[in-house]
Chains A and B, each alone.
Chain A
Amino acid sequence: MGNVAWIFISAMVVNNFTLAYFLGLCPFMGVSGRVDTALKMGAANIFVLTVASVCAWFLNTFILPYAPFLRLISFIVVIASTVQITEMAIKKLSPALFRALGIYLPLITTNCAILFMAISQTNRGYNFVEGLFFAFGAGAGLTLALVLMASIREDLVFAKVPAIAKGNAIVFIIAGILSLAFMGFAGLLSA
Chain B
Amino acid sequence: MSGESTPGAGSRRELPVMSGHIEVPSWRLLLTLGIAGALAGLLIVFVYQATQPRIQAYKALQLRLAVSEVLASPARWDTLYVHDGALVLTPPADVDAGSLEMVFLGYREDGSRVGYAIQGAEAGFQDIIELIFGYNAETNTVLGMKVLANKETPGLGDKIVKDSAFVAEFAGPETPLTGVKSTRATGAANEVDMITGATISSRAVINIINHQLERLGPMLNAYLQEAN
Q: Do any CB atoms of chain A lie under 8 A from CB atoms of chain B in the complex? A: yes
List which A69-98 residues lie within 8 A (CB) of chain B: 69-70, 73
Is A191 within 8 A of B200, CB to CB? yes
Distance in angstroms between the alpha carbons of A14 and B204 in the assembled complex: 16
- Shortest CB-to-CB span from A134 to chain B, Å, is 12
Stretch at the interface among B19-27, B41-49, B73-81, B106-114: B41-49
Is B126 within 8 A of A14, CB to CB? yes
- Shortest CB-to-CB span from A121 to chain B, Å, is 13
Is A10 within 8 A of B45, CB to CB? no
Is B44 within 8 A of A70, CB to CB? yes
Chain B contributes a number of interface residues (CB within 8 A of A) equal to: 16
Q: A69-B44, A69-B45, A69-B48 are in contact. Are A187 and B127 (CB under 8 A)?
A: no
Is A190 within 8 A of B48, CB to CB? no
List which B162-201 residues lie within 8 A (CB) of chain A: 200
Is B126 within 8 A of A186, CB to CB? yes
- Pick the 9 closest A-B CB pairs, nearest first: A191-B203, A69-B48, A69-B44, A187-B125, A190-B200, A186-B126, A187-B200, A6-B123, A191-B207
Q: Is B32 an interface residue (CB 8 A)?
A: no
- Shortest CB-to-CB span from B49 to chain A, Å, is 10
* Set of chain B residues within 8 Å of A186, measured between Cβ atoms: 125-126, 153
Chain A minimum-CB-distance residue to B206: A191
List which B42-77 residues lie within 8 A (CB) of chain A: 44-45, 48
Q: Is B115 an interface residue (CB 8 A)?
A: no
Partner of A190, one of B41, B44, B123: B123
Chain B minimum-CB-distance residue to A188: B125
Contact size range, A:
10 to 19
Chain B minimum-CB-distance residue to A190: B200
Most chain-B Cβ atoms within 10 A of its Cβ — which of A10, A124, A191?
A: A191
- Shortest CB-to-CB span from A9 to chain B, Å, is 10
Is B45 within 8 A of A190, CB to CB? no
Is B125 within 8 A of A190, CB to CB? yes
Q: List 9 A-B contacts (CB under 8 A).
A: A6-B123, A15-B126, A73-B40, A186-B153, A187-B125, A190-B123, A190-B124, A190-B125, A190-B200
Per-residue CB contact flags for chain B residues 140-162 toward chain A (1 = under 8 Å, else 0) read 00000000000001000000000
Q: Is B128 an interface residue (CB 8 A)?
A: yes
Chain B minimum-CB-distance residue to A20: B126
Most chain-A Cβ atoms within 10 A of its Cβ — which of B40, B125, B128?
A: B125
Most chain-A Cβ atoms within 10 A of its Cβ — which of B124, B125, B126, B203?
A: B126
* Set of chain A residues within 8 Å of B125, measured between Cβ atoms: 186-187, 190
List which A142-191 residues lie within 8 A (CB) of chain B: 186-187, 189-191
Per-residue CB contact flags for chain A residues 4-23 toward chain B (1 = under 8 Å, else 0) read 00100010001100000000
- Shortest CB-to-CB span from B158 to chain A, Å, is 13
Distance in angstroms between the alpha carbons of A144 and B162 in the assembled complex: 35
* Set of chain A residues within 8 Å of B41, measured between Cβ atoms: 70
Chain A minimum-CB-distance residue to B128: A124
* Set of chain B residues within 8 Å of A187, measured between Cβ atoms: 125, 200
Distance in angstroms between the alpha carbons of A70 and B37 in the assembled complex: 11
List which B77-134 residues lie within 8 A (CB) of chain A: 123-128
List which A1-60 residues lie within 8 A (CB) of chain B: 6, 10, 14-15
* Set of chain B residues within 8 Å of A14, measured between Cβ atoms: 126-127
Distance in angstroms between the alpha carbons of A40 and B44 in the assembled complex: 39
* Set of chain A residues within 8 Å of B128, measured between Cβ atoms: 124
Distance in angstroms between the alpha carbons of A186 and B123 in the assembled complex: 11
* Set of chain B residues within 8 Å of A73, measured between Cβ atoms: 40
- Shortest CB-to-CB span from B90 to chain A, Å, is 22
List which B195-220 residues lie within 8 A (CB) of chain A: 200, 203-204, 207
